[in-house]
Every structure is written in structure tokens, then in C-alpha cells.
Amino acid sequence: MNKMTDAQLKKLAAIPDESIDYSDIPDMSKTKGWEKLYPDANEKTVITDKMMFDALTKALKSEDPDKIPVTLKLDPKIVTFFKQHSKKYQTKINDVLLEFVNQYEKSHGH
């Protein structure tokens, strides 16, 4: 992922809200991810545009080139299993998939 410059982020911020199509963005206000950015947030916290912008800025400026953010729809049984076995369940899902890819490549001569 390429790191966005401050000028690019300011250009994005200058776009009027009514010009932005938010229809394909899932409602993230009820997810626990906000707790990392806003530890004092709870179910009554109203997620403001500034909070969204700050979260987006942090994500776009992330310097972890080894990971690519994606959105997946997983079977509930998979998510439940990994959540029961690890607080870092997303990392564990990644580890299992990576091991599968490594074994597949090994067995298929890639």
C-alpha cells in the first residue's frame, strides 16, 4: 500500500460530504475496532466525521507493507472458532491461510 501524502489527505478532506457515495461502506460504528482508536468509546458514542477521518488517515499512513487490508465474509463457525481460541483471531486466520499456501506451494512444486 502506498502511503498517502498530507496534500492528498487534505484534498480528500476538502470533498463535500454530500458529494461522497457512502452506500457501499459497512456500518463500522458498532465494531470493537474503534476501541483501539478511542478507548473511552462505548455503544452510546457517536462516531463523528473527524473520528472517521482520523481513523482513515491512520490506516492510509500505515507503514506495514507486509499486510494488505481486505474485507472478507467468513462463515460464522470459522469466526467463532478463531475468536474462542485467540484474542488476535484475525492474525490467527492469516497464519492458517499462510500455512495452507506454503504447504500447497511445497506439494505442487511452486
Each residue of 1-57: pLDDT tens digit? 467 788 888 888 888 888 887 777 766 666 656 666 777 777 787 878 888 787 777
| Count of structural domains within the chain | 2
Q: Which residue has the cell 481486505?
A: 70
**Whose CA is closest to 9, among 67, 59, 47?**
59
Q: Which of 34, 50, 65 is the last residue of a domain?
A: 65
CB 63 within 8 A of CB 3: yes
On whether both 35 and 86 belong to a single domain, the answer is: no
On whether both 16 and 54 belong to a single domain, the answer is: yes
On whether both 58 and 76 belong to a single domain, the answer is: no
On whether both 107 and 59 belong to a single domain, the answer is: no
Q: What is the mean pLDDT of residues 63-88?
A: 84
Which strand (E) or helix (H) includes residue 85?
Answer: helix 76-85
Query: According to the model, what pLDDT value does residue 34 have?
Result: 61
On whether both 2 and 39 belong to a single domain, the answer is: yes
On whether both 85 and 59 belong to a single domain, the answer is: no
3-state secondary structure of 45: coil
Is pLDDT at 61 greater than 60 in this prediction? yes
Containing structural domain, residue 100: 72-110
Query: According to the model, what pLDDT value does residue 33 have?
Result: 61
